[in-house]
Amino acid sequence: MQPARAFIGRHGMALALVAALLVAGGGAAAWRFGRSVEVPVVTATTGRIAARVVGPGSVQARVPVTLAARVSATIAQVHVDVGDVVQAGQLLVTLDDRDLIARRGVVGGQQEALLRNTEGARATLAKAQADLDLARAKLRRDAELLAQGFVSPAVVDASNAAHGGALAGVAAARAGLAAREADARTLAQEARYADTVLSYARLVAPMGAVVVQRLAEPGSTVLPGTPLLKLVDPATLWVATRVDESVVARVRPGQPASIRLRSGEVLPGKVARIARQSDAATRELEVHVAFDAVPQRFAIDQEAEVRIEVGDDRGILVPLGALARDKTGRQGVLVVEDGRTRFQPVETAGAEGGRVLVRQGLAGGETVVALAAGVVARQRVRPAAASAP
């Protein structure tokens, strides 16, 4: 009998405990769903907020220049470092030019020797011309003497042959001079080429710019095309951002924008260019936003966020705090109807000044819980305050 009594006792205690829990749960449910809770409410109204297109980007330069070697040589000196501001024509890098100077000297020696040969060719032409004049005069005299009977025809024939030889001598002298002059023009071209190549040993800034990368050091041997320095024109800085095709139609050149750098600095800018080529994978277009003023400190490829002002959006406005999510993760608001809350899924657009624009799912004039935190659907509520958003 005692074990039976013990069993009944334990069973009775369990039933009592379950009953107590049911009473407590029912009380809590009655308190939560039966007793109204005071909550702030707001009436959804139609209004406008500023519309923005927001996207990540990176700082770029419209005019980047990579200064590269154009000859094979050893770097003698790099005159600038990263961050230096340079002016157009400023000497930036000097290469070892001793072999280039020697090559130019060889061409110069050839030019000097050719100059002497050209002078000799001119003298030869002058002598050939004088011989021709003499032969022509002798032929004329002999012809007159033959007419008078003082010389035989053989003398005139000899004079005629001498005249022909003098003509040939002049032609040969002229050809020789022309050849020397052609050689002189060829060597002049070689000299200009040697001077040009020699100038490649001194690399100067092609524009006013800032040095953003130093890619080689003195003592390094470089080949044509080896990058040495990277420069950018600060006046051409902009942020390259990517905008989805669905909203890029609202973006126009000249629209104001704000640029937030990774450092936290916010700078004004304007839309400068919109790409005409879309990314086939992401369905985005590249938009370039130029700075209104050159930032004091910048870095190429620095991360930034761009906000482009594209006009106004019109719709239903509610406080940001009115947004809630149900158990499935859907976004919505808690509409108050007949003293109870009802979860209403909504589609939102932009937000501004603590208000969010509801694009779909809510009508003007509906009453919603202004601060949804801690409030659930189907809960009895009573308004604590009523105001327009």
**H helices of the chain, where?**
2-29, 98-148, 153-199, 245-248
In terms of domains, do 271 and 342 share one? no
First CA to last CA across the chain, in angstroms? 73
Cα 194 to Cα 280: distance, rounded to the nearest angstrom: 49
In terms of domains, do 119 and 89 share one? no
- CATH number of the domain that 358 lies in? 2.40.420.20
In terms of domains, do 105 and 184 share one? yes
What's the pLDDT at 16?
47
In terms of domains, do 291 and 163 share one? no
Beta strands 237-244 and 45-61: pairing type?
Answer: antiparallel
What's the pLDDT at 51?
81
pLDDT tier at 73, thresholds 50, 70, 90: very high
What's the pLDDT at 30?
41
pLDDT digits (tens, 9 = 90+) for 193-234: 999 999 999 999 999 999 999 999 999 999 999 999 999 999
In terms of domains, do 103 and 90 share one? no
Cα 159 to Cα 143: distance, rounded to the nearest angstrom: 9
In terms of domains, do 162 and 255 share one? no
In terms of domains, do 123 and 173 share one? yes
pLDDT digits (tens, 9 = 90+) for 122-159: 999 999 999 999 999 999 998 999 888 888 999 889 99
What's the pLDDT at 297?
86
In terms of domains, do 299 and 250 share one? yes
b/e sequence 104-117, b meaning 16+ C-beta within 10 Å: beebeebeeebeee
What's the pLDDT at 68?
96
- Determine the Cα angle at 14 with ends 12 and 19, to 5°: 95
Q: In the structure encoding, which two tokens stand for residue 227, read together?
A: 């990058």
Cα 256 to Cα 235: distance, rounded to the nearest angstrom: 18
Which of 231, 248, 280 delimits the end of a domain? 231
In terms of domains, do 125 and 173 share one? yes
Which of 231, 247, 277 delimits the end of a domain? 231
More confidently predicted of 187 and 29 = 187
Cα 278 to Cα 288: distance, rounded to the nearest angstrom: 14
Q: What is the dihedral of CA 225, 227, 228, 229, to 10 degrees?
A: 130
What's the pLDDT at 295?
87
User: How many domains is the chain partitioned into structurally?
Assistant: 5
Between the alpha carbon of residue 128 and those of residues 31, 135, 161, 367, the distances in Å are: 132, 10, 15, 117
- CATH number of the domain that 150 lies in? 1.20.120
CB distance 226 to 216 below 8 Å = yes
Cα 242 to Cα 381: distance, rounded to the nearest angstrom: 45
Beta strands 266-278 and 256-261: pairing type?
Answer: antiparallel
Is 251 a residue whose pLDDT tops 80?
A: yes
Q: Which domain holds residue 212?
A: 65-94+204-231
- CATH number of the domain that 79 lies in? 2.40.50.100
In terms of domains, do 90 and 212 share one? yes
Q: What is the pTM (predicted TM-score) of this model?
A: 0.64
In terms of domains, do 195 and 105 share one? yes
Beta strands 85-86 and 209-214: pairing type?
Answer: antiparallel
- CATH number of the domain that 258 lies in? 2.40.30.170
In terms of domains, do 288 and 342 share one? no
Mean per-residue pLDDT, 277-287: 92
pLDDT tier at 5, thresholds 50, 70, 90: very low
CB distance 57 to 304 below 8 Å = yes
